[in-house]
Amino acid sequence: MHPLVTRIDLDAIAHNTRCIRTHVGDRQLMCVIKADAYNHGVDACMPVMEANGADAFGVATFAEAREVARLTTKPVLAWLWAPGEEIPAGIEVGAPSIAHLRSLIDAAPTLPTPIPVHLVVDTGMNRSGIDEEAWDEAFALAAEAEAAGTLRVKGLMSHLACADTPEHPFTQEQLDAFERATQAAHRAGLHPEVTHIANSPGVWTRKDAHLDQVRPGVSLYGSEPVAGQDHGLRPAMSWVARVVAVKPISRGESVSYGLSWQAPEDGYTALIPAGYADGISRSWQGRFGVTINGQWYPQVGRVCMDQIVVWLGSAEPQVRAGDEAILFGPGGMSADELATATGTISYEVLCAPKGRTVREYVGRG
């Protein structure tokens, strides 16, 4: 029994993958498992996704791609890298600039087969991708390299900025831009096997963005990417701790560094073994709490490196050392609720557990 655990429900991962698979029909499903499957664990989660409908996998870095490629025979795409990095054999590579494309062409002689490339186009997010004024040059260069057998243009991709706000007009502007990019690629003689732009919110809010392939991330792990919508997803992660101690406190006495909180009346506190070294940001303090035996209790005082204190109130506590305290997850606040309370997003909350946190799995997927 560990004092601090992220509990991952593999049955929830399987359920969410099937939900997306059903929703997108015959479109290819690329499951995004970057950042160690959004902190859920690639080794355990990826086989479950594969068994429940994944056609391909997407990651950010080459290091992640190498790890995933050893676990599957399905395509693995990586899109965040610097020109000059060693290109791993056997993976698909996103090319977000002409410099990246030239780097792939230079590396091609060292690899056993032509590199499958997904050309990344910027459709207005201004983060990553080939700018529109450079599309013709990039597509011509890619077509020349493809004709020479140096690389294979497997895909054309971009990323939606505002799909989590369904009424936002910018999504249509991006889809229009992506269509222009697709036509420009065709004029250059390129015929990518897959086009893809839809992230998790795009999967649910814009069927016209499904194209050949969708690229969901956070929905696989049970978080609703669009506020107020419910697609029957099941949260897969719970972050739980074991109460270390229950202590009495008198009215006016203070708690933790800086003595920033005083007990409003005689009562009790509980000590929870999780702090900023484990992923609880100091910016969360005073804005969240834990659920113990079905009752929510607020965190009080400063967040410390290793621990937090929660206020149990004035009544004789129904909490004992060893009881489970849910920081977020089923039975407590959801990751979405905690994100709202602390001024962030569920993605960051799911990535928060770290440090001394031990991961454990339930369900069979």
- Binding site for substrate, by residue number, is 127, 305
Q: Is 247 a catalytic residue?
A: no
The active-site residue, picked from 34, 38, 297, 361, is 34
The identity of residue 41, as a single letter, is G
Look at phi and psi of residue 126 and say left if phi exceeds 0, alpha if psi is from -120 to 50, else beta.
Answer: left
Beta bridge partners of residue 4, listed in sequence order: 241
Nearest residue to 297 (alpha-carbon basis) of 229, 225, 241: 241
The active-site residue, picked from 74, 154, 221, 257, is 257
Whole-number Å distance between alpha carbons of 77 and 119: 12
Whole-number Å distance between alpha carbons of 19 and 17: 5
Under 8 Å between Cβ of 28 and 193: no
Neighbour tally for 123: CB within 10 Å: 25
Task: Give 152: exposed, middle or buried? Use CB within 10 Å, 0-12, 13-18, 19+.
Answer: middle
Beta bridge partners of residue 291, listed in sequence order: 296, 326
Q: Is 34 a catalytic residue?
A: yes
Under 8 Å between Cβ of 38 and 271: no
Whole-number Å distance between alpha carbons of 161 and 172: 11
Residue 302 corresponds to which tokens in the numbers above? 């400063």
Residue numbering of the annotated binding site: 127, 305
Beta strands in 274-335 (DSSP E): 289-292, 295-300, 308-313, 324-328
Residue 342 corresponds to which tokens in the numbers above? 């602390």
Whole-number Å distance between alpha carbons of 85 and 267: 59
Whole-number Å distance between alpha carbons of 285 and 299: 7
Helix (H) or strand (E) holding 24: helix 10-24
Whole-number Å distance between alpha carbons of 181 and 177: 6
Q: Read off φ and ψ for residue 164, nearest 5 degrees.
A: -75, -5
Active site residue ranges: 34, 257
